[in-house]
Chains A and B, each alone.
Chain A
């Protein structure tokens, strides 16, 4: 497809388990972002990848969260030892260049529920 693709679309996991969320950005987009939206909250920045530069990890809420981007394309967000407060929709986005100067396109999100 032409858009940002995320999988799984829905994930229910038990507290303490690890989860992996995958993002396929739009082909050719050098910038990739992860955001999350908890219930009743805005979009919270998690991590940003731009080309071969070191990622901006300043938004990761704890060391249980990590992300990688292989080959400058697909990205995986990993949450270890999930907690109930991790329940949220995790949104991936990509763009050609800097945000605001190039439109950011979001995927439909991965809905994570930790029980």
Chain B
């Protein structure tokens, strides 16, 4: 049962344009969401998070939007840079436990 879904396995954008990575979730009890970035042969690194009491959180070029009614969140990167090329994972702490549930990831390629 995939509680966190990233339906696009890959995304390719041009440098300078906006990258939009999407994530859907099924568990309405999720109250906190995180995005992680992973380069090849490295562990994932925390990027940005959002609490369910907000609908937007911005950090520099990265903005996460949360639509609770649609159980959907998205990560916007603008402007995209070639160094942003990585796999992006959406995650949420599972209610009542301490484990993070991750999506399968979206591989972003930013072309120069």
Contacts and interface: CB of A to CB of B under 8 A. Distances in A.
Contact of A91 (B43, B97, B105): B43
Contact of A100 (B32, B103, B104): B32
Interface stretch (B14-22, B44-52, B55-63, B76-84): B44-52
A41 interface: yes
Interface residues of B, number: 26
A96 B34 CA distance: 16
Contacts of B99: 33, 45, 48, 56, 58-59, 99
Given A42-B105, A98-B98, A108 B93 contact: no
A99 B44 CA distance: 14
Nearest to A103: B46
Interface in A81-111: 91, 93, 98-101, 103-109
B4 to A, nearest CB: 8
Contacts of A50: 98
Given A42-B104, A106-B44, A31 B89 contact: no
A82 B99 CA distance: 25
Interface size range on A against B = 20 to 34
B100 interface: yes
A115 interface: no
A12 interface: no
Contacts of B103: 42
What are the 3 A-B residue pairs with the smallest beta carbon separation, nearest first? A106-B43, A42-B104, A43-B102
13 contacts: A42-B4, A42-B104, A42-B105, A45-B102, A56-B97, A93-B43, A98-B98, A99-B98, A99-B99, A100-B32, A106-B43, A108-B41, A109-B42
Interface of A: 4, 31, 33, 35, 40-45, 48, 50, 56, 58-59, 91, 93, 98-101, 103-109
Given A100-B49, A105-B45, 10 more contacts: A33-B99, A42-B103, A43-B44, A58-B97, A98-B93, A98-B98, A100-B33, A100-B93, A106-B43, A108-B42
Interface of B: 4, 6, 32-34, 36, 41-46, 49, 89, 91-93, 97-105
